[in-house]
């Protein structure tokens, strides 16, 4: 049946509305600052602890859940999701990461990886080279993967034993030069001979952490699911003040720790316990 003029008009209007909605979403800027949040895809296997997400069923394998989370982050003015990557073949890597990338289709939202193996040992340069080759082959060509200056971005987790030798191991992997690497800071990091393009801190028991020109990160609270009381109690007024300080910062990365790490109690994703307060505060400051 030939569509009626009314049907055609409705279709055109719907398409225009969709285009306008995307145009109104915060886009990743060509230059800094860039606002990103750490985003985890390990539910329901990982406990949510003291908090119950409003989004149900809370399952990172469901495309509709991942799409809703992308929508919520964009609503709050978050432009980038930083997704943990533990290596080839892990559950979140093999099945959920591709779904997360597709959840950003039709939006300005971009995604990057958090290289976790560095925080759980000292991978050799050969291992780093192999992992980066795998990431290049499987993810960085995706239209929704974040790039800076043509290079795919990669955040790197770290542990308390990191030092200048960590950077030397990374520099000895030739493929590292293909990436815009954002290493985790350690004492004396600025004095090392090998320097990555950027640095960040991940320390959610502190409500705000400034790393000079590199990054400014904020946390709404910290309450580990195995502990009876929080190490960093939540305060919506403090969170709002931290958002404003981060926005005013000249740091290249504005980092929210985290969007949905429920088990450590650092999430701003809406829950039955604190509602939409932390997400709405982020929108009011970052995406008014």
Q: Would you kindly state where each structural domain of the chain is located, as residue ranges?
A: 34-286
For the cut 60, the answer to whether the pLDDT of residue 182 exceeds it is yes
Nearest residue to 277 (alpha-carbon basis) of 235, 219, 231: 235
pLDDT of 109 higher than 90:
yes
How far is residue 5 from each of residues 8, 14, 30, measured CA to CA in Å? 5, 14, 41
* Chain position carrying tokens 């008009």: 9
Least confident of 5-14, 21-30, 107-116: 5-14
Specify the CATH class of 34-286 in words.
Answer: alpha beta
Q: What's the token pair of residue 92?
A: 């979140």
- Going by pLDDT thresholds of 50, 70 and 90, the confidence category of residue 5 is very low
Q: Identify the sign of the CA torsion 88, 90, 95, 99.
A: negative
Share of the chain above pLDDT 70, in %: 90
Q: Are 265 and 278 in contact (CB under 8 A)?
A: no
User: 31 pLDDT exceeds 60?
Assistant: yes
- Residue 267: closest CA among 238, 246, 247, 239: 239
Prediction pTM value: 0.91
Report the chain's mean pLDDT, rounded to a whole number.
92
Per-residue pLDDT at 129 exceeds 60:
yes
Average pLDDT for 63-87: 98
Q: Contact, 253 vs 32, CB < 8 A?
A: yes
Mean pLDDT throughout 6-19? 41
Determine the average pLDDT of the residues in 32-37. Answer: 96
């Amino acid at each position: 049946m030939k569509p009626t003029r009314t049907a055609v008009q409705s279709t055109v209007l719907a398409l225009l509305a969709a285009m306008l909605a995307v145009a109104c979403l915060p886009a990743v800027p060509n230059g800094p600052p860039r606002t990103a949040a750490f985003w985890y895809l390990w539910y329901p296997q990982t406990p949510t602890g003291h908090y119950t997400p409003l989004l149900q069923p809370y399952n990172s394998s469901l495309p509709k859940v991942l799409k809703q989370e992308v929508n919520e982050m964009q609503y709050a003015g978050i432009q980038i999701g930083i997704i943990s990557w533990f290596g080839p073949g892990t559950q979140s890597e093999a099945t959920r990461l591709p779904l997360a990338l597709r959840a950003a289709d039709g939006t300005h939202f971009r995604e990057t990886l958090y290289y976790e193996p560095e925080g759980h040992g000292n991978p050799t340069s050969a291992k780093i080279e192999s992992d980066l080759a795998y990431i290049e082959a499987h993810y960085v060509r995706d239209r929704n993967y974040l790039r800076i200056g043509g290079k795919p971005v990669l955040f790197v987790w770290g542990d308390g034993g990191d030092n200048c030798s960590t950077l030397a191991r990374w520099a000895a992997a030739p493929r590292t030069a293909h990436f815009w690497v954002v290493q985790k800071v350690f004492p004396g990091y600025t004095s090392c001979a090998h320097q990555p393009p950027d640095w960040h801190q991940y320390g959610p028991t502190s409500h705000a952490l400034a790393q000079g020109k590199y990054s400014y990160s904020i946390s709404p609270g910290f309450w580990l699911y195995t502990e009876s009381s929080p190490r960093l109690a939540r305060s919506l007024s403090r969170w709002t003040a931290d958002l404003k300080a981060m926005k005013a910062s000249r740091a290249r990365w504005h980092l929210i720790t985290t969007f949905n790490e429920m088990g450590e109690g650092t999430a701003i994703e809406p829950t039955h316990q604190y509602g939409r307060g932390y997400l709405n505060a982020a929108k009011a400051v970052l995406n008014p």
